[in-house]
Structure 1
Amino acid sequence: MLTPIIPYLRWELMPSQPGHYQAYQLRGAIGNLFRDWFIMHQHLGRQYLYQHPLVQYKVIEGLPMVVGLGLGAELLAALEPPRQLMMNHVSVEFKEVRLVSEVYEPDFATPRRFQFATPWLALNEDNYARYREHEAYERREAVREMLQSILIGNILSFAKGLGLSILARLQANIENWHAEPVRAKQRESGLLLGFTAGGEITFSAPPFWGFGKQSSRGHGVMITQKMG
């Protein structure tokens, strides 16, 4: 069976001045700039689209990035990257915009090491209650199995968003994890629970690609690497 080849494009926006930039600020600024393109902001009118985002926003080591996959990459290729944005009520100019174009060849069979580079927001309201119950009774193995199941579900959602069929049975083994509170937006008073986690998985992630809740805002960036 032929491996599908999926376009991948990344804008790397290099600010003229260093600053404390946030992925949700970048998403808001660019989503507003390209409001006519729903793929850029996951909204159709006032309705939020509950599907895996094909354009995602990151700030990695202070560098703002816009990452597109499949239709998202094709759209980024057709648009002109901004040279200036209003982020958190401050005008930010970019001295250079780098375009990184690649192809992504998905692999759902070969074991790889994985690590989350940004907190993974794995839990919804239902499984958050289950997680708290397991933690209260120190059921660490139950927590591991739950997180592994959620991670596989995230990858299935990713594949569905790209129109991919997975013939092999996905396997995930989370060897270590740590929960930490995450504030998704500065304006939000509540905190979400994020996880740093690593282990083995039969999956190859695209560069700087996020999984789980609020992945378009920089959360859940997974790094995968072949073993051996």
Structure 2
Amino acid sequence: MTLKTLVLILNTDRPVKELASKLRGYIAIRFKQYPILHHHIEEAGYLYTYPRIQYKQIEGTPLVLGIEEGADILKKISDEIAELKLGKSVYKVKSIQMTQMNAEFGPCRENNHYKFVTPWLALNPANYERYKWISDWREKKEFLNGILAGNILSMCKGLDYVVDRKLYVHSRLDDEKVEYKGVPLIGFTGEFRVNFRIPEFFGLGKGVSQGFGVVKAY
């Protein structure tokens, strides 16, 4: 399967300090005529369980990913983004780098190598309790590998794609404290291998639309 994707990299006059949630808020209000930009399902009349627009902030650079119809909307609005008002900060957009492609998506024979460039929010309240009580590191690793495979399958379901084979995940992850919607959580960074093609900058886990769990080929 191929997916139409568009990556919009916004080169600003200085590094952006604010989180991707601020970028999401600004773009959504600035272009409120497009409900897909803020994922307000009630207004749009459809349900996307996997966001077609995803906002990222990677090492001070703001980035927006559009998938399928999301890519078309991003292309429409790109010329109108001259500045970013993020909280109390205003950034001038000096240039915009736009990359559109038909990205390969789906299971494959070989193991592909990826890394999380932003923390992956793997744990909900229920599986956090389970994770906390696992003392053996191998068992913890297998537990996280299972969640990661599940996140990939959830992404597929949200993109109306049926996976017809088992996914095998191998990971090397480190945990770190993060904050999501004002709540302290555990996030994970590191690398993993899986027999699946994931396009650049796609997100996995919780908080995908706000820049968590961003994946890049390693």
Question: Scaled by the length of structure 1, what TM-score is found?
Answer: 0.86
Deviation at 1:161, TM superposition (A): 1.9
2:74 counterpart of 1:76: yes
Residue number in structure 2 paired with 1:177: 173
**Residues 23 and 218, structure 1, Cα contact 8 Å, conserved in 2:** yes
Match of 2:60 in 1: 62
How much does 1:21 deviate?
3.4
> After superposition, what is the alpha-carbon deviation per residue over 1:18-55, rounded to whole angstroms, capped at 9, x for unaligned?
342321111111122223323212223489x6711111
Distance 1:14 1:88 in 2: 18
Partner of 1:130: 130
Residues 123-142 of structure 1 show CA distances to partners (whole Å, capped at 9, x for unaligned) of 111101111111xxx12222
Q: How many pairs align?
A: 215
1:168 is aligned to: 165
* Distance apart, 1:14 and its partner CA: 1.1
Letter paired with 1:150: I
CA contact (8 A) 2:12 2:93 kept: yes
Q: How far apart, CA to CA, are the structure 1 residues paired with 2:192 and 2:159?
A: 25
1:93-108 mapped onto 2 (5 Å cutoff)? 93-108=92-107
The whole-number CA distance in structure 1 between the counterparts of 2:207 and 2:74 is: 20
Q: Does 1:204 align with 2:206?
A: no
User: Secondary structure at 1:152's aligned position in 2?
Assistant: helix
Q: Which residue of 2 aligns with 1:158?
A: 155
Deviating beyond 6 angstroms after TM superposition, the runs of 4 or more aligned structure 1 residues are: none
Q: Which has the higher strand share?
A: 2
Deviation readout 1:75-121 (Å, 9 max, x if unpaired): 21233441122111222221111211111111312311222111100
CA–CA distance in structure 2, aligned partners of residues 46 and 182 of structure 1: 31
Q: Give distance in 1, aligned partners of 2:16 and 2:2.
A: 36
Letter of the structure 1 residue corresponding to residue 53 of structure 2: V
Aligned to 1:92: 91
Structure 2 residue ranges without an equivalent (≥5): none
Tell me the TM-score normalized by structure 2.
Answer: 0.89
> CA separation of 1:224/1:203 partners in 2, compared to 1, >3 Å: closer, same or farther?
farther
Tell me, yes or no, if the aligned pair for 1:148 and 1:172 is still in contact at 8 Å: yes
Contact conserved, 2:54 with 2:66, CA < 8 A, in 1? Answer: yes
Deviates more, 1:102-111 or 1:38-47: 38-47
Residue identity in the other structure for 2:123: L
* Structure 1 gap ranges (5+): none
Contact 1:21 1:64 in 2 (8 A): no
Partner of 2:213: 220
Q: Is the 8 A contact 1:13 1:65 kept in 2?
A: yes
